[in-house]
A and B are shown apart, each in its own frame.
Chain A
Amino acid sequence: MGPLIPNGIIPEDWNYIIAILIGFAFGYILEASGFSSSRKLAGQFYGYDFAVLKVFFTSAVVAVIGLYYMDYLNFLDISMLFVQPTYLWAAIIGGMIMGVGFLAGGFCPGTSLCAVAIGKIDGIVFTIGLVIGIFIFSESFSALEPLFESSNLGNITLVDTLGVSPYWIIFIFTIIALIAFVFSDWVRSKVKKVFY
Chain B
Amino acid sequence: MSKKYKLKRLLVRRYQILAAILFILAAGLVLLPKYKKNEGIAPDLFVKNIISSERYISTDLLADRLVNQDPTVLLIDTRSEKEFNDYALPNAVNIPLKDLLNENFDGYINQDVYDVILYSNENFYADQAWIISNRLGYQNLYVLKGGLNEWFNTIINPKMPEETEPKEAFDLYSFRKAAGMYFGVGIVKSEVKKEIKKKKPTRKVITVKKKKKRVPEGGC
Contact = CB atoms under 8 A, between A and B. Distances in A.
Interface in B206-220: 211, 213-219
Nearest to B218: A82
A interface secondary structure, majority = helix
B141 to A, nearest CB: 20
Contacts of B219: 84
B26 A171 contact: yes
B23 interface: yes
Nearest to A178: B19
Contacts of A80: 213, 215-216
A33 interface: no
A24 interface: no
Contacts of A170: 26, 29-30
B188 interface: no
A72 interface: yes
A61 B29 contact: no
B25 interface: yes
Contacts of B23: 174-175, 178
B32 interface: yes
Interface string B1-32: 00000000000000000010011011101101
Q: Which 3 A/B pairs are nearest by Cβ-Cβ distance?
A: A82-B218, A174-B26, A167-B30
Interface of B: 19, 22-23, 25-27, 29-30, 32, 34, 37, 211, 213-219
21 contacts: A3-B216, A6-B213, A6-B214, A6-B215, A6-B216, A8-B211, A8-B214, A61-B26, A62-B22, A69-B25, A69-B29, A80-B215, A82-B218, A83-B218, A84-B218, A84-B219, A171-B30, A173-B26, A174-B22, A178-B22, A181-B19
